[in-house]
Chain A
Amino acid sequence: MIDHDYDLLSRCLKKEVAAEDQLYHQFAPKMYGLCLRYAGNETEAEDILQDGFMRLFNHMHQFRFEGRVEAWIRRIFVRTAINYYQQNLKFSMEVELKNADDLPALQEDALSALSAKELLAIIQHLTPAYRTIFNMHVIENYAITEIADLLGISEGTARSQFHRAKNRVRQMLIQRENYHTIS
């Protein structure tokens, strides 16, 4: 698979139209899935997807042909998403109204029953800053230090912002659970 991806990238570097087409269609569904998580809605996700692929095609010569192509492409898209919301990534220093410990416990059955679509809707309801940090740490598995470095914030801020983001997610999950229990 790696050899196939390397070959595909080499052909793209030679400006082969068919290779560009193939590369896009091979990675677009995965990257669109990623963009949907970082975006507030589908329109923004399409914008990020388009920007990401333009960045990929324009910076392809920087790939060193080491490691997995998909991981490299994924990093490009995460950076594109960060850039897209750079203006809106305001990291709130407000104290959360409710501490995580004060929130009622979440039933694991209810959590496991949630579909990807429902979870996506919850992520998209977060502010861009919370959404970015939550995605990077929980799904992309970036370390807090790495996130701080990429977002240009201190490690302490990154850590506290992540916990606030997770609390917000928990709040929404509980609200959703209560709503379904009542109805």
Chain B
Amino acid sequence: MEEKDPIENKFNTTFSGYEQEPPSRVWDNISGKLHPGVKHAGFLARILAFSFFRNKPILFFLTIGGISVSLLFTGVYFGFKNHPTIRGHAYAGEARLNRGSAELFQVADKVMPWDSVTHYRSAIIDNFGHFQFSRVGAGNYLLRIAPEESSEAAKNFLPSWFDRYATSDSCTRITLGNKDVNAEVHLVQSEKKKN
């Protein structure tokens, strides 16, 4: 066998089995080309794939847990952000109404007369006259407050529409976007009381 000269020998021995770790971006590019769907699946999906196929159950379940918690918080955040609350107080004269109900009606029409009024939700008025409708979708609403029939207020005040009207034709419409609305309702006195 032909003997190699010292230079050839030096290069041959130095680079036989020579290794160097390539940058991680090379594999990212290759795996992205091999599995284009996975490339666009995002960081967490790749961790999931890595942990699943590399048999790393702790990392796999931690990632699943992380994703679940993230989705939960994201859902809660956007749920509340896009579904604001209508809240307020009902007054019978100077005092707060302490027994009664609040009714919310959805209106599809943009201008009067309103033909498409549908009952949306009911709420109980607490002892401090407070009512609240949580997580209401964006839109137009009418609000009606009715004192409980057996209450003292029912004798002197009529069921009334926001903000102080006896009929829905003339009441104030609530337009709900992505912010909470505070609606203070003053019950209209009955004719008997006025007299």
Residue of B nearest to A118 (CB): B14
Q: Are B38 and A17 in contact (CB under 8 A)?
A: yes
Q: A53-B30, A54-B30, A111-B10 are in contact. Are A21 and B53 (CB under 8 A)?
A: yes
On chain A, the residues within 8 Å of B26 by CB distance are 28, 32, 46, 49-50, 53
Tell me which residues from 123 to 150 in chain A have a Cβ below 8 Å from any Cβ of chain B: 123, 134, 138-139, 141
Contact with B along A13-46 (1 / 0, CB 8 A): 0001110110011001110111011000000011
On chain B, the residues within 8 Å of A106 by CB distance are 6-7
- Among B8, B15, B16, B54, chain A packs the most CB atoms within 10 A around the CB of B15
- CB contact between A24 and one of B14, B17, B30 (< 8 Å): that residue: B30
Q: Are B18 and A33 in contact (CB under 8 A)?
A: yes
| Contacts between the two chains (Cβ within 8 Å), count | 93
Q: Are A170 and B23 in contact (CB under 8 A)?
A: no
| A residues whose Cβ falls under 8 Å from a Cβ of B | 16-18, 20-21, 24-25, 28-30, 32-34, 36-37, 45-46, 49-50, 53-54, 57, 106, 108, 111-112, 114, 116, 119, 123, 134, 138-139, 141, 166, 169-170, 173
Kindly list the 9 A-B residue pairs having the minimum CB-CB distance in the complex, ordered from nearest: A18-B53, A29-B19, A32-B22, A33-B18, A139-B15, A138-B8, A33-B19, A33-B20, A138-B11
- 18 extra interface residue pairs, beta carbon distance < 8 Å, beyond A30-B17, A54-B34, A112-B10: A17-B49, A24-B30, A24-B31, A28-B21, A28-B27, A32-B20, A32-B22, A33-B18, A37-B18, A45-B22, A49-B26, A50-B30, A53-B30, A57-B30, A111-B10, A139-B16, A169-B11, A170-B7
